[in-house]
Amino acid sequence: MIIVNSISNLRSIISAWKQKGLSVALVPTMGNLHAGHLKLVNIAKQKADKVVVSIFVNPTQFGVNEDFANYPRTEHEDQLKLAKENTDLLFLPSVTDIYTSNALTTVTVSGLSDIYCGAFRPGHFSGVATIVCKLFNLAQPDVAVFGLKDFQQFTVIQTMIRDFNFPIELIGVNTERESNGLAMSSRNNYLTNQEKQIAPQLYQSLCHAQAAILKGQQCFADIEQQALLCLKTAGFTTDYFTICCSDDLSPATKQDKNIVILAAAKLGKTRLIDNIYFSL
């Protein structure tokens, strides 16, 4: 596995690959890799000749009083995991490599960036869209692979690719879960042992809501309120629990056939997100 820190070296290697007619897949990450990330790498290997994984804890997607400084950084362990998966190139830039001190340009996907997680984390999705746009520019991928645990993030990136005419195939990969249903996440490391016993109830609430809809219950507001009450009783502080049309994340109506249920809630100091999507 090639490990690259500088933008110039990254571009040189990818240019050489492209001149040979090789396709490139990009898997952007913030490190602290788990089985979900490695699943993305394996999907990427099936879709392209060469796989580039980036590890970059992006400061612009963290808000005030969020966990940028304490975000888990495990570069050595991550390198070993990626090498074992036969990753072709690991891009490990510094903040100063990515952001110049006088940078004035950001990318914002209007509307989608302001709802759900965007409402509770102002500026977050602008930070996400900007860094992903930068990585697309640097790596020139033919394919980009993202997990669907953050369904809103995936939708933001999908919209940016469409609006900017990026010649990139975007692939979403189903959420990897612990045996108890909890979505794998780097932030699960923040949970106490007691909280780890409670955390799977977030996914359970999504499953119960899905079951109610599939049984024909059409008052989505009642389903949402019941879920919010159950989560509060379990000890969560809920940001939102919303039944949406998965095409554009607008509130779902009885006419919608493609559904995603989005949820975000805090358990202690840890903010968890999850979703479940399905078709009627």
Q: How many percent of the chain have pLDDT more than 70? A: 100
What pLDDT digit, counting tens, does each position of 137-156 carry? Answer: 999 999 999 999 999 999 99
* b (16+ CB within 10 A) / e for 114-142: ebbbbeebebbbbbbbbbbbbbbebbbbb
SS3 106: coil
Q: 2-173: which CATH number, 2.60.40.10, 3.90.1150.10, 3.40.50.620, 1.10.3720.10?
A: 3.40.50.620
- d(CA 150, CA 84) in angstroms, rounded, equals 26
Q: Provide the residue ranges of all domains of the chain, joining segments of one domain with +.
A: 2-173, 186-279
Q: How many percent of the chain have pLDDT more than 90? A: 98
C-alpha neighbours within 13 Å on the C-beta side of residue 164: 19
Q: Which residues are catalytic?
A: 37
| CB proximity list for 68: less than 8 A, separation 6 or greater | 57, 59, 62
- d(CA 70, CA 85) in angstroms, rounded, equals 27
The whole-number pLDDT of residue 70 equals 86
What's the pLDDT band for 205 if we cut at 50, 70, 90? very high
Average of per-residue pLDDT values in the chain = 97
The whole-number pLDDT of residue 33 equals 97
Cβ atoms of 37 and 27 within 8 Å: the answer is yes
Q: What is the mean pLDDT of residues 171-176?
A: 98
What pLDDT digit, counting tens, does each position of 29-59 carry? Answer: 999 999 999 999 999 999 999 999 999 999 9
Tell whether the model's pLDDT for residue 110 goes beyond 90.
Answer: yes
Tell whether the model's pLDDT for residue 64 goes beyond 90.
Answer: no
DSSP 115: S
Q: In what order do the strands lie in the sheet with 89-91?
A: 2-4, 89-91, 50-55, 24-29, 143-147, 169-173
The superfamily (CATH) of domain 186-279 is Pantoate-beta-alanine ligase, C-terminal domain (3.30.1300.10)
Cβ atoms of 124 and 69 within 8 Å: the answer is no
Q: Which residue has the tokens 């007691």?
A: 194
What's the pLDDT band for 65 if we cut at 50, 70, 90? confident
SS3 109: coil
